[in-house]
Structure 1
Amino acid sequence: MKKIIAPLSFVLLFGSHAVFADAEIEAIVDRHCQACHDSGLAGAPKMDDADNWAPRLASGIDAMTQTVISGKGAMPPKGTCFSCTDEQLKAAVEVMVQRLK
């Protein structure tokens, strides 16, 4: 039982992003998110457009993650990262939000 509790405690204390290597999540963002969000392809909110991101940011990370998981408009479910877990996608959303600042 102790073997299960220790890793679970780590996740509860430090959040989902902590269980992934930063490089892994950065690579997901670079490979699956950045191209459309840098260029605004197919209506994706551009990374340098704070006004366009404001309502999304106001909805919170969980709502933004759910949008990525479900897909929206031209963005397919999981934002083309079909092998990503929901937790990896949430961590990728967190990285995207950090890049906005």
Structure 2
Amino acid sequence: MKALTAALLGMGLATVAMQSQAMSADEIVTKHCTACHEAGLGGAPKLTDKAAWAPRIAKGVDAMTQTVLKGKGAMPPKGTCGSCSEADLKGAVEAMTGPLH
């Protein structure tokens, strides 16, 4: 019974890991970023506000990714994507800010 429980737990963890890896940058943005950044909740720069994003974009993708990893203001660490890797979040930052360049 313990072996079965351990195997099921292992499969569950693997499934969670695969789900995170399987999500595209655009899917991460849609699922974890859009709600706050579309409405500007908690001071989040709105998705289409080029002026608000300009100073952030000037610092570069790596700096913005570090902000997401650590959290800022009302945004918790990793935004709302606790299962996202640093690479996942960097891709999401690129996807969010790419159209603003």
Q: CA deviation at 1:32?
A: 0.4
Q: Which residues of 2 match residues 60-75 of structure 1 at below 5 A?
A: 60-75=60-75
Structure having the higher Rg = 2
How far apart, in 2, do the equivalents of 1:63 and 1:24 lie? 21
1:3-42 aligned within 5 A: 24-42=24-42
TM-score by length of 2: 0.74
Tell me what 1:87 maps to: 87
Cα deviations across residues 26-62 of structure 1 (Å, max 9, x unaligned)? 1111000011111001110011211111100000000
- Which residues of structure 1 form unaligned runs of 5+? 1-19
Please identify runs of 4+ aligned residues in structure 1 that moved more than 4 A. none
Shift of 1:100: 2.7
RMSD, aligned α-carbons: 1.5
Q: CA deviation at 1:99?
A: 3.4
SS in 2 for 1:99: helix
CA distance in 2, matches of 1:32, 1:89: 10
Question: Between the two proteins, what is the percent identity of the paired residues?
Answer: 59
**Consecutive unaligned residues in structure 2, runs of 5 or more:** 1-20
CA apart distance, 1:25: 1.6
CA distance in 1, matches of 2:81, 2:89: 8
Partner SS state of residue 47, structure 1: coil
How many residue pairs were aligned? Answer: 81
In the aligned structure 2, how far is the partner of 1:99 from the partner of 1:34? 14
